[in-house]
Amino acid sequence: MTRALSTPPVIPSGFLADSPQPVLPATGNLLLRPWEPADAPAFLSAYQDDETRRWHTRRPATETQVREWFDEYRQDWQREKGGHWAITRDGGEVLGRIALGGLDFDDGIAGVGYSVLPAARGVGVASRALSALTAWALDEIDFHRLQLDHSTRNHASCRVATKSGYLLEGTKHSAAVHDDDRHDMHLHARIRGD
């Protein structure tokens, strides 16, 4: 059953699915592009890193599973459930990942997630990628609010969010399960026009 809205949706249905997933330039010769099958080894290698594993409980085990995830990512775009990009140097070397999910077109809200490979940490890759995705989502797609959360123990992610203009709104207590226990999660948000 379809529910009737008293207001029109902020973003009309079909707005994303009617176009191919875009390639988004970011400063510092970064390019956000859809995942390609050849990226599977780099994607899988990220999850061999202890720091990445610390913050991600959903992990691929094989390159075949990674390619299945890539198929799901393409379907997410077509179904307007999300967008998943490789963070690359000039479209080639994979430096990390960034995603837009939890799309709510009625209210114009989406969630953001990101991570970078060890060699790309501490040099602004995540914040430049987040800034590029944010500008596209707020200015071109017209989302009103983007939000992200991370473990309160993940200080690097907090710095990326803050540097990219995502204000800390509060702490969600015991909100996520990680390998070592439940974690409190910081909630950050960026509003169009901020």
Q: What is the pLDDT of residue 10?
A: 93
pLDDT over 60 at 1, yes or no:
no
Region 53-60: mean pLDDT is 82
pLDDT over 90 at 32, yes or no:
yes
Please say whether the beta carbons of 179 and 153 come within 8 A. Answer: no
Ordered domains of the chain (ranges, CATH):
24-191 (3.40.630.30)
Region 148-174: mean pLDDT is 96
- Over the chain, what HEC string results? CCCCCCCCCCCCCCCCCCCCCCCEEECCCEEEEECCHHHHHHHHHHCCCHHHHHHCCCCCCCHHHHHHHHHHHHHHHHCCCEEEEEEEECCCEEEEEEEEEEEECCCCEEEEEEEECHHHCCCCHHHHHHHHHHHHHHHHCCCCEEEEEEECCCHHHHHHHHHCCCEEEEEEEEEEEECCEEEEEEEEEEECCC
Confidence of residue 182 (pLDDT cuts 50, 70, 90): very high
pLDDT over 80 at 2, yes or no:
no
Q: What is the pLDDT of residue 106?
A: 95
Region 46-64: mean pLDDT is 86
Q: What mean pLDDT value characterizes the chain?
A: 93
Q: Of 2-11, 16-25, 110-119, where does mean pLDDT reach its minimum? A: 2-11
How does 36-59 read in b/e, with b if 16+ C-beta sit within 10 Å?
Answer: eeebbebbbebeebeebeebbeee
CA contacts within 13 A on the Cβ side of 163: 17
Q: What is the pLDDT of residue 3?
A: 63
Confidence of residue 6 (pLDDT cuts 50, 70, 90): confident
Give the tens place of pLDDT for each residue, 129-150.
999 999 999 999 999 999 999 9
